[in-house]
A and B are shown apart, each in its own frame.
Chain A
Amino acid sequence: MSAQTLYDKLWNSHVVRQEEDGTCLIYIDRHLIHEVTSPQAFEGLRTAQRQPWRVSSVVATADHNTPTDHWDEGIKDPISRQQVETLDANIKFFGALAYFPFKDKKQGIVHVVGPENGATLPGMTVVCGDSHTSTHGAFGALAHGIGTSEVEHVLATQTLVAKKSKAMLIKVEGELGAGVTAKDVALAIIGKIGTAGGTGYAVEFGGSAIRSLSMEGRMTLCNMAIEAGARAGMVAVDQITIDYVEGRPFAPTGATWDAAVEYWKTLVSDDGAVFDAVVELPAADIEPQVTWGTSPEQVVAIGARVPNPAAESDAVKKNSAERALQYMGLSAETPITEIAIDKVFIGSCTNSRIEDLRAAAAIARGRKKADNVKLALVVPGSGLVKAQAEAEGLDQVFIAAGFEWREPGCSMCLAMNADRLEPGERCASTSNRNFEGRQGQGGRTHLVSPAMAAAAAIAGHFVDVRQW
């Protein structure tokens, strides 16, 4: 057999049947569910009087609508509450392998909860009605977001109708500089290939800089694959992957573990495997990144200035840049380090894991948030991350620095709960999207790493963590 890419192996091992035009039925191993994109799917099952094919594939949690404070008061917004209660009722009625409801000690963001419980394993196909499902590709899994009709389709048939994508390799060789994180790698890649650069591709991240990343870092990177247009991002399995999975609640044990590990070790691209596209980015060229516009591709290094749209030759890009500057309330040529901020958000499925909180706490330790920063919010990705952080005393570091330490959830990444920006407010955010209105109508988002966000909170404006 000719050399295969990791994507070839994952795809081929899940094809149930293939039509003449290449449309396939792909078997789905893990179905993650949250409250926002599932109610209509469950309703569809009920209406058609269908049963879920294999409920033991389902792991569910409530994350988008849940508040991050005053849990004793429940969910105040009646529409949010109804959506969360609808998920409670649907899981109770149909069943699941595991459900982490609002207030459960293991509740949290679905893309944090899955991996930390071993519900995401190498070699799996993982889907969820959420575009950031690409996160799980960090485990050498084929993982991507789906729409609600597909949620219903997977529930009813355990399969997805799909055509194979093209394969792209994004190679980052070398050593990342101090203060440069997986988030900066992700933003630098998006800056290079654009938000549609990965459209139609499944992306494998490779190279020595990627192999040296922790699982948390790999999850951050794969999480942002969708911001480059790629539905799926993935990293080959290695010892770091296997060590992370071992001992987690839904991971295999004993002889089954040994058999699983033997298989998982094959989940790498073969030598000589051919990709449809290869992008290379030397690790040494990557600096801490800050977005300046309303698309993740509108990003520059911390030492740069806000670009001048006049220098853009492409008419559509020029128009987008002008519109972005107007929305962001920024002038061309302003040094990034002179941009003052109003709020800081440390959290989201991109950057709310223990390593992220440690990095932010290391910056905040012994310092105070700047007076012009109205709110610095730290929202752990899950109850387990929160407990771990508290065991390490990180909560006290943040509180002493004037940050707020909250309960887990999606929070101000998309502002479906009460955590949001007011019109015109500027935020240094560790989340994944700087779209207009994403963090609240009229809010202005700058995407950065956790360390860069914490440093901005202390300084009151963006600063280079490498000079901290």
Chain B
Amino acid sequence: MKAFTQLNGLVCPLNRANVDTDAIIPKQFLKSIKRSGFGPNLFDEWRYLDHGEPGMDNSGRPINPEFVLNFPRYAGAQVLLARENFGCGSSREHAPWAIDDYGFRVVIAPSFADIFFNNCFKNGLLPIVLPADVVDQLFRETEAGDGYRLNVDLAAQTVTTPSGASFGFDITTHRKHCLLNGLDEIGLTLQHADEIKTFEAAYRARQPWLFVE
């Protein structure tokens, strides 16, 4: 996994609550057996005016000029600013894959759906929960003028605005350690293989019916 340490990135505001994973990446793109290439279809049904299918040349498709991702001022954005319950719905990891593949490295919202939130950390994507009034303020500042950037520092656990206002955010020690160092979580867990084996043997003795071969 790629590491995340610090970022100074352009912010794109997506002013909708309950953005679900079907909206983030529609089901037809889930037929892929790869982990990459989902970026051009991020928010496909909002971003384009036609119906998207896998394998299409997205460069020639009609763009929805009213969708915020298509505003020229937000081209190259790396921070997605969102509303409550972002990423609700299915467990599809294709959602963070698409967000990451598009170029975002951070998503900020007042709340996230659990599975989506968890999936982000497996992909070097940092989801940050900030209080609703702070998110409101960031929306106002982002929309007020071009080129609004936020500085995100994972080690310090802060989000800093251009005017210098700084907001702290929470993250578990485990997730922070994995993200900062870009660690392979499976490799990390397998360092405890002996503990898993010991647990498994005792557990199997207690509940043999769970170990039908």
Contact = CB atoms under 8 A, between A and B. Distances in A.
Given A150-B122, A256-B209, A436-B23, A441 B115 contact: no
A242 to B, nearest CB: 13
Interface in A315-329: 316-317, 319-320, 323
A108 interface: no
B133 interface: no
A150 B32 CA distance: 18
Contacts, number: 198
A50 B27 contact: no
A158 B89 CA distance: 25
Contact of A161 (B15, B22, B123, B189): B189
Given A16-B192, A20-B173, A416-B27, A435 B89 contact: yes
Interface stretch (A123-131, A303-311, A448-456): A123-131
Contact of A27 (B23, B193, B196): B196
A437 B185 contact: no
Question: Chain A: interface residue count, which band?
Answer: 35 or more
Given A157-B189, A435-B89, A260 B199 contact: no
- Secondary structure class of chain A's binding surface, majority of residues: loop
A80 interface: yes
Interface stretch (A195-203, A215-223, A377-385): A195-203
B111 A199 contact: yes
Given A43-B33, A196-B88, A159 B196 contact: yes
B162 to A, nearest CB: 25
Given A22-B172, A256-B209, A316-B83, A16 B196 contact: yes
A149 B124 CA distance: 12
A144 B192 CA distance: 23
A19 B176 CA distance: 13
Interface of A: 13, 16-17, 19-23, 25, 27, 29, 36-37, 39-40, 43, 48, 50, 53-54, 56, 64-65, 77, 79-80, 82-83, 86, 97, 121, 123-124, 129-131, 133, 144-150, 152-153, 156-159, 161, 163, 165, 195-196, 199-200, 226, 229, 231, 250-252, 256-257, 259-260, 263, 295, 316-317, 319-320, 323, 414-416, 433, 435-438, 441
6 contacts: A37-B93, A43-B35, A161-B174, A414-B22, A416-B27, A435-B89
Interface of B: 15-18, 20, 22-23, 26-28, 30-35, 45, 51, 54-55, 83-85, 88-93, 96, 111-115, 118-119, 122-123, 172-175, 184-186, 189-190, 192-193, 195-196, 199-200, 203, 207-213
